[in-house]
Structure 1
């Protein structure tokens, strides 16, 4: 009898052991399944982070187009995108604006504005003066915009006195906002109110950072282009201004020389691209 009971116990133990082995084989290992997912997600997310990083960008604005000035052709032949600032009411104002647009360049009205110092004849026709009434200022701004086709904004020609005047700048910026334009402060006045007032109106506070040809030589312009690159790399972007005119060919040569050493490190863009991406400015401007 005892022998039979021992056999029964052995048979039951063997059956339980076999069942446990079978269950263990069928159930997957939980820790392995949990640890695999994070490793895969980390691997797939890394390339996306690298791809979303934007290159440092430079917007080159060239002022004083509109009077068939020296260096005009050389500027239009530069190997990168530029922004063309055209003075209104001059013999080639419309021609230069159309040529720039056909090349895919942004066009600004280079609006003459009263300076603190300087000869009145340097301003050119259609200048905005602080002595004007509100209605006269508005009329001048609107006429200049109507005279330069394809303009997407305004920057100031001279203008150290006007850009420090809240009343006059309020009218200029108001017209810009009505038309879906923006204003680029050329920064001829370090006490300019343009940027602060633009922010208050919900407009982008765009300003020039570096003048390229404050000294009129190709070598100086090339040196300034290095400063442009340094600022773009450290601050993400840089707005810079050069000119056509008496030394226009030298300025163009200096810009071309500077571009050669910068093209692998920065992206050259039109001012509208910079304004759109940096300040999320989406105007409803309709070009003619």
Structure 2
């Protein structure tokens, strides 16, 4: 074979090997479709506010659902209710009275804008001592105080020192509380839905459905309810089946915060 013939054969052989190489095989027929990650189940935390005044509030501590109990620290049943809740494995938080709008009188046991820092911290410390089981704190009323930057800074400093979380009940759109909690590095969240502004079965169900929509959109949602008979009946009789039907996970607030950091 001539030198030219040998060179031509060599070029042909190289082209043939390249074209038949497995690395260049049709990727459409050999590629493996990507495995889709399972979509996380939306998480919902339900907080019941205003607890501690009456004996019938103990029914909320007896629920088998993971409901976070927000207890007012200076109420007659506060300490006993917190103990019952802990015995049943429920999470407790402090539902701290704070100054509402159009209320300019100081009240004992309420945080307000007239407090010095020492007074503010003394009131908070008394609340913590009453409810040592508390994992966090949210505001009771507070439409005036939660709009004030300085006392909210004091609050978040005290919560950070105790490694507690904060839930902004959002009783006013002017609130700076959640922003101050984030700035202080706290685990924190905001209320998305009030379940029972209208405490009747039809209205509660509508708010539950709105809560589900929010949880599906953002992966989680927080609802606040109150110790009304209609709310208790909803939690006892309807919520377990509804939660299973909607494929959502009911969790304590601290658990929800762990997945939203």
Per the normalisation by structure 1, the TM-score is: 0.75
Q: CA deviation at 1:220?
A: 1.3
Q: Which residue of 2 aligns with 1:89?
A: 74
CA contact (8 A) 1:196 1:205 kept: no
- Structure 2, unmatched stretches of 5+, are 1-19
d(CA) in 1 for partners of 2:47, 2:102: 23
* Greater Cα shift, 213-222 or 267-276: 213-222
Give 3-state SS (helix, strand or coil) of 1:60's partner. strand
Residues 250 and 174 of structure 1: CA distance in aligned 2, closer, same or farther (over 3 Å): same
Runs (4 or more) in structure 1 with deviation over 4 Å come to 118-121
Q: Which residue of 1 aligns with 2:127?
A: 144
Larger radius of gyration: 1
Q: CA deviation at 1:156?
A: 0.6
Q: CA deviation at 1:120?
A: 7.3
Matches within 5 A, 1:1-288: 31=22, 42=32, 46=35, 49-50=37-38, 53-68=39-54, 70-73=56-59, 75-117=60-102, 126-244=109-227, 248-255=228-235, 256-264=237-245, 265-279=247-261
d(CA) in 2 for partners of 1:232, 1:70: 30
CA contact (8 A) 2:51 2:57 kept: no
Give 3-state SS (helix, strand or coil) of 1:229's partner. helix
d(CA) in 1 for partners of 2:216, 2:40: 11
d(CA) in 1 for partners of 2:203, 2:57: 16
Q: CA deviation at 1:237?
A: 0.7
Q: CA deviation at 1:35?
A: 9.3
Residues 235 and 155 of structure 1: CA distance in aligned 2, closer, same or farther (over 3 Å): same
d(CA) in 1 for partners of 2:104, 2:82: 26
Give 3-state SS (helix, strand or coil) of 2:198's partner. coil
Q: CA deviation at 1:79?
A: 4.3
- Structure 1, unmatched stretches of 5+, are 1-28, 280-288
Residues 222 and 120 of structure 1: CA distance in aligned 2, closer, same or farther (over 3 Å): farther
Residues 39 and 239 of structure 1: CA distance in aligned 2, closer, same or farther (over 3 Å): farther
Residues 69 and 161 of structure 1: CA distance in aligned 2, closer, same or farther (over 3 Å): farther
CA contact (8 A) 1:154 1:182 kept: yes
CA contact (8 A) 2:62 2:85 kept: no
d(CA) in 2 for partners of 1:35, 1:203: 53
CA contact (8 A) 1:71 1:249 kept: no
Q: CA deviation at 1:68?
A: 2.2
Q: CA deviation at 1:208?
A: 0.4
CA contact (8 A) 2:62 2:88 kept: no
d(CA) in 1 for partners of 2:62, 2:128: 26
CA contact (8 A) 1:59 1:269 kept: yes
Residues 46 and 159 of structure 1: CA distance in aligned 2, closer, same or farther (over 3 Å): same
Q: CA deviation at 1:78?
A: 3.8
Per the normalisation by structure 2, the TM-score is: 0.82
d(CA) in 2 for partners of 1:89, 1:120: 18
